[in-house]
Amino acid sequence: MSKYKKQIAVTVLASTLLLSGCGLFNAEEAVKEIDPPQDVTITEDGTVESEKGVDDVNADQGEETMTSQLYLIDKSGFVVPYTMNLPKTDSVAKQSLEYLVEGGPVSNILPNGFRAVLPPDTQVLGVNIKEDGTAIADFSKEFNNYKKEDEAKILQAITWTLTQFDKVDKVKIWVNGHEQKEMPVNSTPIHDGVTRDDGINHDTSDVVDLTNTKPLTVYYMAESDGQQYYVPVTKRITNDETDPIVSAVNELTKGPSPSLGLMTDFQDGVELLSAPKYENGKVTLDFNESIFGSFDEEQKIISSNVLNALVLTLTEQDGIESVAVTVNGKAELINENGEKLTEPVTRPTKVNTGSF
């Protein structure tokens, strides 16, 4: 089972660095497990058997809620995770898809510049989760009423929304009870199901020969209404690259393709000084002093945006649960709040929570 559904031991003492002043991560939630809700068991019909640890209460309305990540489309056309508190339900997988419908219940809580991905009036007929980790999402015929240029984004949004849940590794699409081997408008292949390994927000701008490449997902930044948020991008790297951790760091330091319009806080000259060390789910990365960027090197401050990008990117890889950073072999680093980074950083539960 992929890493994003593992129960992660909480060992982070300095996890508040994930705040970065942008409202992207919730400080209290940052030390919890990846991709909510992790303490939920979903049966084959998509209902909840246990909801321990995922409930919240809306202080204004007294309504019980639960946290979920919805994959929406931003103003630039990227499929982006956005964390929301949704009404408590026994059918969390089905509900998460219902909140992807344009004109549906998500309409009143959409952040500025974001839109829902599924066509108006689409009904989610059911989400059936099999023992092999396959989620079958069945939609009404209105599902077919989308523009062909949105097809890949719709498939990615459905896949990444559902694979946040325990026991879901792969997604199949049905319409009115009939399995779809390809998407109905532009024939994007589905075959035996789609996984996170199939990627999201594909960038092939620097690729000459696709046949000699493999996918790698990294996280860059975008901005809307003065708020920054993180965007997963699947790039293509050559098959000759054998260490996915090194490849991911190299892509982050290289930065996004100019054509994407995305940003990075990595400064020029950032390099790994030695091979990454991996042990029991923890990766240790030793950088040169350029990792400090615009901060005073003597104070040993590392940008929260740099650390967030590293953690989000590397924990997408199987088996990686936390990231530790050293500079010139020393671990005496602090975050922007002046807190010492005494423990490795795990992936936050809530990603992109700011008001846009």
| SS3 label, residue 306 | helix
In this prediction, residue 196 carries a pLDDT of 95
Evaluate whether 312 touches 230 at the Cβ level (below 8 Å). Answer: yes
In this model, does residue 184 exceed pLDDT 90? yes
Token readout for 170 is: 């792969």
The residues that bridge with 135 in the sheet, in sequence order, are 129, 171
In this prediction, residue 350 carries a pLDDT of 82
Provide mean pLDDT across the span 17-25: 40
Comparing 53-67, 116-130, 131-145, 262-276, the range with the smallest average pLDDT is 53-67
Average pLDDT, the chain: 84
Q: Which is more confidently placed, 343 or 101?
A: 101
Evaluate whether 138 touches 129 at the Cβ level (below 8 Å). Answer: no
In this prediction, residue 339 carries a pLDDT of 85
CB count within 10 Å of CB 151 equals 17
In this model, does residue 6 exceed pLDDT 50? no
What is the maximum alpha-carbon separation in the chain?
63
Provide mean pLDDT across the span 249-266: 95
Provide mean pLDDT across the span 139-159: 98
Q: What is the band of 353 on the pLDDT scale with cuts at 50, 70, 90? A: confident
Percent of all residues in the chain with a pLDDT value above 90, rounded to a whole number: 65
Comparing 89-98, 108-117, 336-345, the range with the smallest average pLDDT is 336-345
In this model, does residue 22 exceed pLDDT 70? no
In this model, does residue 5 exceed pLDDT 50? no
pLDDT in tens, 94-122: 999 999 999 999 998 998 899 999 999 99
The residues that bridge with 70 in the sheet, in sequence order, are 82
pLDDT in tens, 277-287: 999 999 999 99
In this prediction, residue 19 carries a pLDDT of 35
In this prediction, residue 211 carries a pLDDT of 87
Q: What is the band of 33 on the pLDDT scale with cuts at 50, 70, 90? A: very low
Q: Which is more confidently placed, 80 or 209?
A: 80
Say which DSSP state 310 is in.
H
The pTM of this model reads: 0.83
* Dihedral angle over CA of 214, 219, 223, 224, nearest 10: 80
In this model, does residue 62 exceed pLDDT 70? no
In this prediction, residue 101 carries a pLDDT of 98
